[in-house]
Amino acid sequence: MEFLRRLKLRCIWSWAGVVATWTSEHSFRSWVWANLVSGAVALILPLSPGERALILALGILILAAELLNTAIEDAVDYISTEDHPLAKRAKDAGSAGVAVAAIAAGVAWVVILIG
C-alpha cells in the first residue's frame, strides 16, 4: 500500500509541475500546441507505427526538456536575481537542451518525409 500511496503523490506532484509550467511559461504552451499539430499530422499521414512512435516520443521529449529547463530557470532565479556568468551558463544550457531535442524531432520529420 505504501508503494501505491507514494505513486499517487508522485503523480500529483508531477501534474502540479505541468500545470505550473503551463501557467507560467509561454514556450511550454507553444511546444504543447506544436506537438498537438505534429502528432495530428503524424496520425493523418500514412506512416509506419515505428515512424509515428518516433514522432510522438520526440515531441514528448521536447516537453520534458522544456519542463527541466523551467526547473533550472526557476531554481537559478530563486537563488539570486543578480546577473552571474554561472547562472547564465545554466540557463543557456537548459535552453540548449530544448533546442537539441527540437532539432532531433525536426531531423526525424525530415528523414521520414523524404525517406
Residues recognised as catalytic: 66
**What's the CA gap between 101 and 90, in Å, rounded?**
17
Number of residues that this document lists for the chain? 115
C-alpha cell at 72: 533550472
Residue (of 38, 28, 106, 12) closest to 68 by Cα position: 28
Residue (of 52, 43, 68) closest to 105 by Cα position: 52
